[in-house]
Amino acid sequence: MPQPSPPRERASPDSRRYVLAALMCTLMLAAMDTTIVSTAIPQIVAELGGFRKFSWVFSIYLLAQTVTIPIYGKLCDQFGRKAILTTGTLVFLGGSVACSAAWNMTSMIAFRGMQGLGAGAIMATVWTIAGDLYSVRERAAIQGWFSSVWGMAAIAGPLLGGTFAEYASWRWIFVINLPIGAASLALIRIFLHESFQPRRPRIDYAGCVLVLAGVGLLIFGLLQGGQAWPWLSAPSLVVFGVTALLAAAIVWVERHAAEPVMPGWLWRRRVIAGSNVAMLGMGLVMMAPNAYLPTFSQTVQGLGAVAAGFVLASMSIGWPTASTLSGRLYLRIGFRDTALVGAGLVAIASLTFALLPEPQPVWAVVPNQVVLGAGFGLLSTPVLVGVQSVVGWEQRGVVTGANMFSRYLGQSLGAAVFGAVFNGAVAARLADAPASLRGRLPQGVDGVIDFLHTAHGNTAAETYLRHSIAIATRNLFIGMGLVAVAILLVLATVPRRFPTSK
């Protein structure tokens, strides 16, 4: 195991506070972007048109962000963290300005892709800089601060988006990024000093292109499968067949590259490979409540949109708290065992939700989500801090990028897998509906939510559909519990003590 060289980033204790504030502001840009846009979609569609394309406003951002994270992770090891973070933030802000000036849905989608390219650099470098500046003992508290950003984004995003869309213009939801980004760039420039030794990097151009193409095509297939075309169809077979060929090409090219963007040792070291697979599973699990819990809260529990958002945001109470406290635990029992505790809490929370009596009371769902968030905090923080600690400065960017990439790839998988589970359960209920209701129910899954929003009175059809959504949501949480058990099994194969270097 290579010994790490001294950290290349320097900051005094006072300066570190400003750098941390800058990193949190930069992370807020990427974290809030999806939530702030989602509440303004009706107004955006009303002005720009293109309703059938609007899902790509989110999909293209996720795709561009995810596929570039491992590349930026490698580049920040070659060119320095500060340069990559600054460049990524400028690209993100440029995309924000362009989005605010979009003239139709096609241009909006293109500029959202530009934002995603910048967000990939932010995600790859923010956690890497934290790993450079803070010791293993300190990083848990820092991860807690970073996790709190996601909680603030979950609350502030919808409120700001709704306010701008209703009282000003939806274009302001992109303009608001400019002062936040400018403040972050100024703080980074002033307070983060990087003693990076310039050298002529050997850039793995072929690996970059293949990773972008292979991962991009995989995520594209996952996003389109079951939506634009059936899973078992010619387009799906072509997309995933080409993806498999590209994966083989990536393996071959990276074995022969001088500076591979996805080096093989990431998957040969049990500590790093097991941790990345665990993050893949965590990303997968996260998508179920993020995508479907608000719908469940509104249709089954009868809550309004704001209240449903707060039910989901309750997960953000447990997450940063557990992340902050995880430092004491992993210093005592180790990174792996702390992550096992986190995965265990995720499994318990998921399966407990599935056992709640119907209709599931809000007072039981909220603490359940707090426990779920605590599980995510105890799982993600020790895994990330642990893999950062087994390598030196020269490799920290690539291992951090691989860890974050695994998490976001898991989210893409989760969108496809849990979407299929949820839609399949509701479709089965529609097919098995009593004869007395079949003429009164919507013909397909797409019409269920619209039916419930437009129907009036507590009719038998509404009750049947609400019960169907409750069953589908319960199936999601059972699936989450099974994935959490799989994460436990994967982590059990990881060495109990990470061979930390510092």
pLDDT tens-digit readout, 425-473: 888 888 887 877 767 777 777 677 767 767 655 588 788 888 888 888 8
Structure tokens at 335: 């990174």
Close Cβ partners of 405 (under 8 Å, ≥ 6 residues apart): 66, 69, 70, 73
- pLDDT, tens only, 76-119: 888 888 889 999 999 999 999 999 999 888 898 899 989 999 99
Average pLDDT, the chain: 82
pLDDT at 440: 73
Q: For the packed helices 393-431 and 270-299, what is the interaxial angle rounded to 10 degrees?
A: 40
Whether the pLDDT of residue 306 is over 70: the answer is no
pLDDT at 3: 40
- pLDDT, tens only, 372-428: 999 998 998 889 888 888 888 778 888 888 888 888 888 878 877 888 888 888 888
- pLDDT, tens only, 216-267: 888 888 777 776 778 788 888 999 999 999 989 988 988 888 778 778 787 8
> How far apart are the C-alpha atoms of 366 and 11, rounded to whole Å?
40
Element (H, E) at 171: none
pLDDT at 4: 40
Label the pairing between strands 193-194 and 9-10. Answer: antiparallel
CA-CA-CA-CA torsion sign (439, 444, 446, 452)? positive
Whether the pLDDT of residue 357 is over 60: the answer is yes
> How far apart are the C-alpha atoms of 301 and 45, rounded to whole Å?
29
Task: Identify residue 257 by its one-letter amino acid code.
Answer: A
For the whole model, what pTM was predicted? Answer: 0.81
> How far apart are the C-alpha atoms of 247 and 211, rounded to whole Å?
8
> How far apart are the C-alpha atoms of 67 and 223, rounded to whole Å?
14
Structure tokens at 35: 């939530």
